[in-house]
Amino acid sequence: MPTLLTTMSTSFSQELLISTLVLSLLVPLYFYLKSSRSKSPAVLPTNWPIVGVLPSLLANLHNLHDYLTAVLAGSGHNFRANGPPGTGMRFFVTCDPDNVRHIFTTNYANFPKGAEFAMIFDIMGGSFFTVDGEPCRRQRAKIQSVLTNPRLLARMTACCRDKVENGLLPVFTRMASTGTPFDVQDLITRFVFDLTATPVFGVDPGLLSSDMPPMNRAVAMDTVMEVALFRHTVPASCWKAMRRLNIGPERKLAAAHTVLRGFITEMMERRKKNEGVGNEEAPSSVDILSSYIDDPDYQDDELLRATLINYMIAGRDTIGTTLPWVFYNLAQNPRVVSIIRSELSPIAAPKAEAATCAGDIVVFEPEETKSLVYLKAALYESLRLYPPGPIERKTVVADDVMPSGHEVHAGDTLFISLHSMGRMEGVWGKDCLEYNPDRWLSDDGQKLRYVPSHKFLAFNSGPRMCLGKDIALMQMKTVVAAVVWNFDVEVVQGQSIEPKLSCILQMKNGLTIKLKKREM
């Protein structure tokens, strides 16, 4: 009988051998493709002997989302791809809404996230983000009970309003008074990190405090998403071998895991220290952690830690990724800004007259923006073009036939390109590449049109529909209303605005803007 050590050694040797063989074939082919690629990608990626489509994918990785969009537009919204033999890389890529409905709703049980997805996001292993089946249903029910707690919702609403008034707007006002260009993505990252962590732990990390401390925790979360994309696009044997050798992206990821685990421990200790001491940070049992810490299903420290990281990433990534794109879109579309201000005017006028806000800065209560139709349409339009999670991954359990007529087989990996779906003429019309909130409005402009979730997938669809959707929209509307009403936003010219290589659609180089205080 082989010993466990011998088995592990053999497994690692196999991973290393496969990785070496694959990379020895890929590297020269990759550099050849990179040096000879044209600006217009082929309709379909080349399916090379032995290595499959992997070189084409790697050669276009710098521009992955636009590359997939071009390929999907030229192939009828669907294409099949294979990696090197023995790697298990068999892909079906789609942005077809009918296929999406089949995957996410009609035959949902046949398309779980799967074991490899859980390995890719191992920092959240066992939490809602990575599990399927009955564990997913149980954890979803738990999350729903947590996020519908009226006291917690009230605290999250109050936290958002306070962070906007006393955190974000003072910085914006200072930048406007000096005319100083600044990276709004960096500032929004700080704001959203604090906004997410405060109701999770009952204490404020203070990334948006006056001294602007280092953002190593937020950077660690970014690293998780960046390395996850790398893991998605190479054979599992490659990244597993790198993980064991602690080299390349895996070394960076291991350091990020250490930072995140340390952050969770620190925040839990701060919460215990503050509990019951009578200061304003005392959680008074109105935080997400309180709902889990005594739950018998979450007594395992690893599961509790993974769950808290899950909340942090889910809460942070949606609005933290979306808001910079919203400001970018609004800065290019003054007509849209004018309409939003007209919608805000009846709410803002009595506030300005009462002069309750220092420096004539108007702050909108979250409840006041709840019914604003055009503001919501403007947010949806940014989410259509720049979904925070641009790609979804699923696994095929049993052979099936897609509504498009394509066959998929057990063990295949499905990639659903949300980024591409928002840019398909066959889905959104000839103006699909234009930022146009009017497409979301009814004929009379008084309400939003119904758009099914399998066509607009920013908040997922089917049994995994995002439970925090209303909270995220409340937070984004509160921020955007305050910024649009009080400031003119100008994007500094000469920037390269492009997505980062990540599982979330952050801007690679940030977004440098200048602000000017509006004359009321």
Rounded CA separation 387/87 (Å): 30
Sequence-distant (≥ 6) Cβ neighbours of residue 430 within 8 angstroms: none
DSSP 3-state of 38: coil
Instruction: Quickly list H helices, 332-435.
Output: 334-354, 373-385, 418-421, 425-428
Tell me the Ramachandran region of residue 92: left when phi exceeds 0, alpha when psi lies from -120 to 50, beta otherwise: beta
Buried-exposed string 17-41: b where 16+ CB fall within 10 A, e elsewhere: ebbebbeebbeebbeebeeebeeeb
Q: Name the phi and psi angles at 262, rounded to 5.
A: -65, -35
What sign does the dihedral 213-216-221-223 (CA atoms) show? positive
Which amino acid, 33?
L
Buried-exposed string 184-207: b where 16+ CB fall within 10 A, e elsewhere: bbbbbbbbbbbbbbbbbbbbbbbb
What the block records as the tokens of 289 is 């952690």
- β partners of residue 172: none
Rounded CA separation 397/408 (Å): 10
466 is in an annotated binding site: yes
Could you tell me the CA-to-CA distances from 322 to 61, 108, 318 in Å, in that order?
A: 22, 27, 6
Asked if 435 and 381 touch (Cβ cutoff 8 Å), the reply is yes
Could you tell me the CA-to-CA distances from 436 to 266, 325, 329, 382 in Å, in that order?
A: 44, 14, 10, 9
Rounded CA separation 69/424 (Å): 8
Sequence-distant (≥ 6) Cβ neighbours of residue 506 within 8 angstroms: 185, 222, 321, 324, 499, 500
What the block records as the tokens of 293 is 């810490």
Rounded CA separation 519/39 (Å): 45
Q: Please enumerate, by residue number, every residue annotated as part of a binding site for heme.
A: 466
Q: Please enumerate, by residue number, every residue annotated as part of a binding site.
A: 466
